[in-house]
């Protein structure tokens, strides 16, 4: 069954130099036309399941005007929402006015904002401006309006970044005392403005030091490093993201959005022109049982708790150990196995992708998986 929805809002007031997301500069009439198409897409695809998590991402959803946000939430209101449905919206500090916060406080129960870095030297590298005073003011306003479930993103391994810069960013986040923090290492995507500038990247050794510094400081402050890039205070895990990491189904609406449905993954075209014209251009990937099992491994090992063996057995009617001979990796110390879980050993989480590849290599030829 499908219980989760992702909605993509591709508009931004400013384009950051490293950004590879599906986005365009905000334009009021384009945004109105986009919302018209979004209504049609939801009507066409949504099968009236109970929805337990919604994530409104982008782009920058808060770049919409108040009237456009109100239209967006008429779409959200058309879903059959579970009483405790987690509704997250992404925002940036600049476009988040008090008027929008007051409205969103009636409509969402979680918000995710990008700080990225407070260093002005590094902000100029990624072409962003986030003022510490504005960040503090907006966080305080969100709390005044009872939006307490706040995620802040930071980015590290930026060209020219030092350990002291990372420490200053983390200290700043800690001073805000939010329940959830995401920390991403910069990935230089080919066709972005930043990659064209050919910046000198930091060394892998420094990248690892930054990863471990962030982990040490956040864990010391009471955050649980529950997913390779995500930290939460107790009880504040991101329910929608857990849907991805436990390989559950979800709808994706909007330009470039992907839906994971039983037996298939459907990804809308990234062309806004086609989307606005109502042209149904998408890629469909058939997901076999073996594909689903591989995704389960790839996403499940991202979690500190790892893969739930009982849930795996229930879903695929076969034990994990009958699909993969991963014991050799347990013996090497790359994995740990408990009664119910198989997980990547903490010291190897930094090289997670390498461990995942080695895990997949232990596949056992098995008729059940064909």
Binding site for ligand SF4 (CB under 6 A): 12, 15-16, 19, 21, 23, 58-60, 92
Smallest distance from the beta carbon of 57 to ligand SF4, in angstroms? Answer: 9
Closer to ligand SF4 by Cβ: residue 19 or 329: 19
Closer to ligand SF4 by Cβ: residue 152 or 344: 152
Smallest distance from the beta carbon of 29 to ligand SF4, in angstroms? Answer: 19
Q: Give the CB-nearest residue to ligand SF4.
A: 19
Smallest distance from the beta carbon of 234 to ligand SF4, in angstroms? Answer: 29
Closer to ligand SF4 by Cβ: residue 20 or 167: 20
Query: Is the CB of residue 345 less than 8 Å from the CB of residue 356?
Result: no
Closer to ligand SF4 by Cβ: residue 4 or 60: 60
Closer to ligand SF4 by Cβ: residue 100 or 341: 100
Smallest distance from the beta carbon of 279 to ligand SF4, in angstroms? Answer: 23
CA distances from residue 92 to 4, 47, 183 in whole angstroms, order as listed:
23, 32, 16
Smallest distance from the beta carbon of 77 to ligand SF4, in angstroms? Answer: 25
Beta bridge partners of 307: 342
Closer to ligand SF4 by Cβ: residue 58 or 256: 58
Closer to ligand SF4 by Cβ: residue 155 or 232: 155
Smallest distance from the beta carbon of 253 to ligand SF4, in angstroms? Answer: 17
Smallest distance from the beta carbon of 19 to ligand SF4, in angstroms? Answer: 3
């Amino acid at each position: 069954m499908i219980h989760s929805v992702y909605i993509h809002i591709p508009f931004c007031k400013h384009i950051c130099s490293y950004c590879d997301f599906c986005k365009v500069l905000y334009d009021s009439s384009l945004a109105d036309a986009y919302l018209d198409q979004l209504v049609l897409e939801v009507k066409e695809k949504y099968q009236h399941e109970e929805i337990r998590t919604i994530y409104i991402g982008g782009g920058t959803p808060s770049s919409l005007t108040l009237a456009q946000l109100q239209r967006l939430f008429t779409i959200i209101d058309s879903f059959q929402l579970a009483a405790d449905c987690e509704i997250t919206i992404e925002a940036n500090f600049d476009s988040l006015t008090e008027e929008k916060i007051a409205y969103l406080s009636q409509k969402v129960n979680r918000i995710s904002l990008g700080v990225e870095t407070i260093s002005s030297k590094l902000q100029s590298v990624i072409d962003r401006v986030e003022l510490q005073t504005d960040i503090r003011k907006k966080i305080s306003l969100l709390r005044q309006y009872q939006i307490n479930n706040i995620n802040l993103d930071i980015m590290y391994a930026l060209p020219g970044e030092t350990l002291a810069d990372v420490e200053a960013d983390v200290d700043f986040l800690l001073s805000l005392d939010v329940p959830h923090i995401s920390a991403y290492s910069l990935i230089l995507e080919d066709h972005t403005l930043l990659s064209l500038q050919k910046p000198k990247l930091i060394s892998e050794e420094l990248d690892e030091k930054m990863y471990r510094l962030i982990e040490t400081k956040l864990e010391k402050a009471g955050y649980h490093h529950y997913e390779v890039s995500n930290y939460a205070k107790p009880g504040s895990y991101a329910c929608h993201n857990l849907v991805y990491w436990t390989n559950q189904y979800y709808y994706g609406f909007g330009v470039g959005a992907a839906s994971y449905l039983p037996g298939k993954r459907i990804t809308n075209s990234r062309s806004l022109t086609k989307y606005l014209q109502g042209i149904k251009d998408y890629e469909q990937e058939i997901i076999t049982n073996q594909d689903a099992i591989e995704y389960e491994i790839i996403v499940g090992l991202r979690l500190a708790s790892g893969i739930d063996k009982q849930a795996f057995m229930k879903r695929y009617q076969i034990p994990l150990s009958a699909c993969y001979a991963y014991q050799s990796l347990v013996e090497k110390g790359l994995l740990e196995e408990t009664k119910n879980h198989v997980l990547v050993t903490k010291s190897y989480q930094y090289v997670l992708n390498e461990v995942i590849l080695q895990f997949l290599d232990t596949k056992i030829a098995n008729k059940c998986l064909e």
